[in-house]
């Protein structure tokens, strides 16, 4: 009986030490590559849109009060000029481009955050 307990104790002790989560590897954090940077930008833009009032009037594929994100992305060239233009539209609001219903202004939104939102919207551009 004593030997069985001793063997069991040694076995459990070995299992405990082999399952230790402590790691002595010295890996440096990986540098973000372009793909990872794009994913981060997209997810930040998505988070900003989901936490704002955008979804009241816009949807990814369906036109609601305003155009869908896909329609917006397909209408404009994916360029820095477009990002600047749409960033301004988000912050200042406007009407006439997609009809008579005006888009509400979002003046408290920073240019950087609005640009992240535009980048997210432009990710829905159809491949043509």
Whether 106 has a binding-site annotation, put simply, is no
54 has binding-site annotation: yes
CB 101 within 8 A of CB 89: no
How many of the other CB atoms lie within 10 Å of CB of 11? 10
CB 82 within 8 A of CB 76: yes
User: Contact, 103 vs 66, CB < 8 A?
Assistant: yes
19 is in an annotated binding site: no
Q: Which residues are annotated as a binding site?
A: 54, 58, 103
Q: Which residues are annotated as a binding site for heme c?
A: 54, 58, 103
């Amino acid at each position: 009986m004593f030997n069985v307990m001793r063997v069991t104790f040694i076995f459990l002790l070995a299992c405990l030490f082999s399952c230790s989560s402590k790691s002595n590897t010295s890996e440096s954090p990986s540098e973000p590559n372009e793909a990872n940077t794009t994913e981060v930008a997209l997810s930040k833009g998505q988070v900003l849109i989901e936490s704002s009032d955008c979804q009241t009037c816009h949807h990814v594929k369906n036109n609601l009060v305003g155009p869908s994100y896909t329609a917006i992305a397909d209408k404009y060239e994916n360029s820095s000029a477009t990002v600047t233009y749409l960033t301004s539209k988000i912050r200042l609001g406007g009407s006439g481009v997609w009809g008579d219903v005006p888009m509400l202004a979002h003046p408290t939104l920073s240019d950087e955050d609005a640009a992240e939102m535009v980048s997210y919207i432009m990710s829905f551009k159809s491949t043509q």
